[in-house]
Homo-oligomer: A and B are copies of this chain.
Amino acid sequence: MTAPRGPGKRAGITLRDILDAAHGLLKAKGHEGLSMRAIARVLGVAPNALYSHTPSKQALIDELLDDVLAAVPSPTEEDATQALSTMMTSTYDTLLRHGELVPLFLARQGARGRNAWRLGDQMLLLLERAGVDAEAAREAQRVLIVYTIGFAAIAAQSTVEVGATARLQPRDLRQNFMTGLEWLLRGVTGQQ
């Protein structure tokens, strides 16, 4: 609407703007609508302007994923097993609040950013506090992460899916998630 910028004129775009625009596109048009060119269109810049702020589309997606994980709170419970349960459930809820992103999480397997690291570290600490030795804790960590992201993916899809015979309610799926989580935690901590 304003006069087009020539080369050298700055648009004042930040990485935050790009992430927000990407998130908006994802929510509005799904993961097929997420393209570098579409993001640029939203921000009113040339497509290649984005490359001044991110090296690639994949790097941008990684940033986006880790951004979401920032919302997962650190658990405060005394009991380590209880804290683990809360932590995984919080992660599940946070992922579902950004259902459009979950398929991307799956493809990348849980993101490698700083927030993913923080959560992973906390899991290991809690597992060791629950009496699991270091090596077994790494195994348990993998099991719990896979389970949580995988279940979030099912739940995220069921909110989109329309033709399903028996409509799955988010509440039921969350309960389903927690049931399986309890089984796993019981196994992890060796409680019979």
Contact = CB atoms under 8 A, between A and B. Distances in A.
A184 B139 CA distance: 14
A116 to B, nearest CB: 14
Contacts of A103: 106-107
A174 to B, nearest CB: 12
Number of copies: 2
Contacts of A153: 106, 109, 146
Nearest to A157: B109
A187 B176 contact: no
Contacts of A150: 146-147, 149-150
A143 to B, nearest CB: 4
Contacts of A143: 147, 151, 176, 179-180, 183
18 contacts: A103-B106, A103-B107, A106-B107, A139-B179, A142-B176, A143-B147, A143-B176, A143-B183, A146-B147, A146-B151, A149-B150, A150-B150, A182-B187, A183-B183, A183-B184, A183-B187, A186-B187, A192-B192
Interface of A: 103, 106-107, 109, 139, 142-143, 146-147, 149-151, 153-154, 157, 176, 179-180, 182-184, 186-188, 192
